[in-house]
Every structure is written in structure tokens, then in C-alpha cells.
Structure 1
């Protein structure tokens, strides 16, 4: 992450504070993606106060973060909702909470301007699961014996079989794969590692890929997923693009990793699996997550349970 790019166009006081905050975040061993999200939210607020608020003349611009008031943030959130989306505005709200909390800890502010700013309400969209039929169609596009077919099938089966996050699968290292015990070591959010087992079909796909991988020029690269050409490992964005491409080839719309994560939660609940165990397998810390995931198929589970119980039909 280049801090200079994030701070481009900001008043000097904003740039100085973001530089110092980034040092604190790095000292706290925050992941680069988290640092970027936090810093970008603060930088966008700073630019908004220069580029937009001055034009609207609704508040005095704040050339220093310590001059930011509740009204500034509310104007910024409303602008984000209007020009981006409510979910983006919520993302910025959370980043700004952390920024102004840090300013209070630094004793540059007595009270955060975020204290009375309400979170933007967002629509709870149900993410459709990616079930067996659609997954079979996608896997059918990987039937070749070439390197890309073997690699892509292995990646897709890992998503389907484990419900892991995009960043977790993309970030797998060669040493994270244990074919002797049929398991993968995922490096989850908050630097929380967990080991998850995989089934025979996923194991076979991984084995075939690893045999082909061993013959590649970049075989000594620590990252598990190698590119078709060159030596730069496949990134999260590269995996995302691959899934979209395989979806188009299969005629399946909107293919992305999180749909398999929702499907995993749905299948687990449908089989009567324990919620606590599901949280461990998927790397969740909040009790709210099991309710959110698989919610798009909750009606199906309810109907199946209704049919099984035969309520009102036993007499």
C-alpha cells in the first residue's frame, strides 16, 4: 500500500495524521487490507471537506481532522449514500470510528465526532447459494488435463468443500496443504488460523494439481496457486476473475466465492450440524454470523422440516 496515493490531495494536517495513524496500525500488526480500508475512509472524508463541502457551503471546511464536527461526517455519509451506496457509506462509517477513536487516544480530541453519528441503514440482501447443480456446471469447464484446468478445479473444489473465504483460499501456501491428513491450514481474519478437513474429491483434485505444479518453473514459490505464465502467484483478485470467467463458460451468473460459503452454511444447517462447530469450521467469532449465512435458503430448510414433522397430518 502506498500511503502517498491514499493521501493525495489532502491538506497537510490530514496527511500528517494519517501517516502517524498508519504507523500505529502497523505497530498493531493490522493486515494491509484493513489498514488500507481505514486510511482510505479518513482520506476520503478529508478530500470531501475540501472538494464538496466548500462548494455546498453547508459547513466550514475542516483543514485539520481535529476540526471535524458531527455535521461534517453526516454530510459525508449522505454524500456516500447518494453517490456510491449505503453499504459503502457503512464501510466508511466503521473506518472513521477507528480513526477518531485513535485521535481521542492520542489526546488530540476530547470526544469523537462519531459518538452521535448513526450508522447508515443498509438493505439486507440475501445472497443466493451456489448448490450442487450449478457447481457441477462450473466444474465441467475444468475437465481438461492442462495446468489451468487442474488448478481451477482444485480452487473451486476447495471453496465448495470448505466454505472458506476468498482471501483465505487465495492466501494458501504450499506448506498449508497436508495431503497426509486431508486438511488445509487457513489464515483467517484477525490472524486466526484454523485447520479444516477436505473430502476425497477435493483431495484428488489437489493431488493432481500439485503433481502438475511440481513441474512448473515457479515450483519453488511458497504460494500454493501459481499463474499460467510467469512467477507471480495468483492474488485474491486473480481468483475472483477466474471464478467469474468459469461462471460465464458454464452459463452460471454471478459466480463468486461467498456464494459457496453461504451454501456451506446452508448444507450444514440442513444436515442438523451444530452451530458452534459451524462457527469453528468457518472461522466466525460472532454468534450473529450463522444467522446471516445461509439465510437465503432458510425457507427451504423450514419447508423440509415442516414436511418431516408432518404437523397437522398425524391424526
Structure 2
């Protein structure tokens, strides 16, 4: 393998470098998983794990041939491209052979947003007086109103909540960009109820805002399991927490909110993200707008 003979050790060094750059835990996991998947494939195929275009292209093709989503293949390839670029920057290889490698095209998936009835049913499925009930309702209301990412929610601390101002602070959004997000009185009340219930938790003195049951902390996986359970109780099929981000974006525009405001609230820096996140309901909003405009009334 030449310069790549110690690729496993180099992977550990790269992840250490990313941690020093304050990349999120989810980013570290995604990149690490991508490179490790490549190494497993090379071993299974009895191929040397060389980061060159033919080998990486064959790896990506194998992923797609075995039914992987295009987004998964793109994520795996991105991890390898970033790893290869770091190896070149660190002088571990002379040049980056993946520098001009193009990512696989993504399928334009349409993620269905929750309608108002489904959203009410999801909130109702969280009703109760124990800590889990109050936590899950607060999270659902927060995500459905503001569109904050699941990872951003999990990373919140108690200090990030200002209920007097009805604001939450996202300290480290995607790309390291933080922002302050306003919340309405219903979400603020739900968060307040949770915070008061949180006082009896074994980890009440720790900084993390969201805590798990049975005296545990609260991770992304914990959020996924908790909200998936609530969605099942509400009769909502194929639920994923990311649906709430799509729902928040669609509801914002449907209520007459500006695109610039949505970008600021959601933490987006590119205009095309609006189209990506609201594609499922764009035609319906356009039809409603056309009826309001009544351009045929001559």
C-alpha cells in the first residue's frame, strides 16, 4: 500500500485533527464510518486499500449495487475525499488523487411534511406528567416550530434556554455557526414544564438540557427512539425526527414567513436549501397563493 500502509493509524490521527477543529461528534462518526466501511470493503474484495480514483469509484459502485441510498454513497465518498485531502496537507502523500473526484448525484427525495392534524396528534401522544412526557413534548414543539436540527437539540445546555425572552441559543450549528432562535409561548411553556420536572433527575446539576429516563443522559439515538415511539402512538408511519425540520420550514412559508427569515431561523447559508426542504408542499402553497392573487379577475 506504500504511503497508505498505516492507514488505520492515520485515520485515528485524522479524527484527532478534526476533533481539534471542533467538528461535531456526529461529523466525526460519519467520517470515521465512511473510511472504515471502505477498509472493510477492500478486505472483503481482497483489494489493497488505496485511495485512488479507480478503487474509490469501485467502492461507491458496490455500495449502490447493493442497495445503498445515493445519499449514503455520497457521504462515504465525501469521507474518503476529505481524508485524502488531509493526507496530502499533512505530507503523508505527495498529492491528493481524489482532488477532482465528483460526488455521485443525489436522488431528489420528497420528504412529506406533517400536516396540522398529524402534528397535533404527535403532541397529544406526548401528554403526561412524568419527565419523559414533558421532555418529548418540549422537543417536538421546539423542533416543529423552529426547525432546529436533532443534533442541535441534543447539544443544548440549560444555559441555552432563556424563557423570559422566549429564546433558545444554538451554540454550534452545522458548520460551527451559532444562532439565536425565538420560540412562541406554547413551546416556551412546554420547555418550562420540562425544566421544572428536570429538577428531580439524578443528573439535574449537569449542564446538558435534555436528560434520559432511569437517571441517564440523552443522546441522538435516545431522541430518535423517543420521538419514533411517540409517532407510532400518534399513528404516523415512517417517522424520522428530520421530518420535523421539513415540517417547520413548510409551515413557516405557508404562514407567510419570508425566505430570508426562514434561512436565519433554520441556520441555512444557501437559498437552495429552502427548495430542498419544502419541495413536498411547494405546489400546494403555489396554488393557494394563486387563489389569493386572483390574477384572472380582469
Query: RMSD between aligned alpha carbons?
Result: 1.9
Of the two, which has the highest radius of gyration? 1
Residue of structure 2 equivalent to 1:219? 204
Residue of structure 1 equivalent to 2:168? 184
After superposition, the C-alpha distances for 1:92-137 in whole angstroms (9 at most, x for unaligned) are: 1111111111122223434333245332222111111113210111
Residue of structure 2 equivalent to 1:205? 190
Cα separation, partners in 2 of 1:26 and 1:168, compared to 1, 3 Å: closer
Residue of structure 2 equivalent to 1:62? 48
Between the aligned partners of 1:256 and 1:40, the Cα distance in structure 2 is 21
- Pairwise CA distance, 1:248: 0.8
Cα separation, partners in 2 of 1:148 and 1:103, compared to 1, 3 Å: closer
Find the partner of 1:169 among 147, 153, 158: 153
Task: Give ranges in structure 1 of 5+ residues lacking alignment.
Answer: 1-10, 55-60
Find the partner of 2:69 among 82, 85, 94: 85
- Pairwise CA distance, 1:189: 1.4
Residue of structure 2 equivalent to 1:123? 107
TM-score (norm 2): 0.91
After superposition, the C-alpha distances for 1:229-261 in whole angstroms (9 at most, x for unaligned) are: 11x221111111111101111111122222221
TM-score (norm 1): 0.86
Tell me if the contact between 1:70 and 1:116 (Cα under 8 Å) persists in the aligned partners.
Answer: no
Residue of structure 2 equivalent to 1:278? 262
Residue of structure 1 equivalent to 2:59? 76
Task: Give ranges in structure 2 of 5+ residues lacking alignment.
Answer: none
Cα separation, partners in 2 of 1:216 and 1:21, compared to 1, 3 Å: closer
SS at match of 1:209: helix
State whether structure 2 residue 283 is matched by structure 1 residue 299: yes
Residue of structure 2 equivalent to 1:19? 12
Between the aligned partners of 2:264 and 2:139, the Cα distance in structure 1 is 21
- Pairwise CA distance, 1:215: 2.8
In the alignment of these two chains, the number of paired residues is: 293
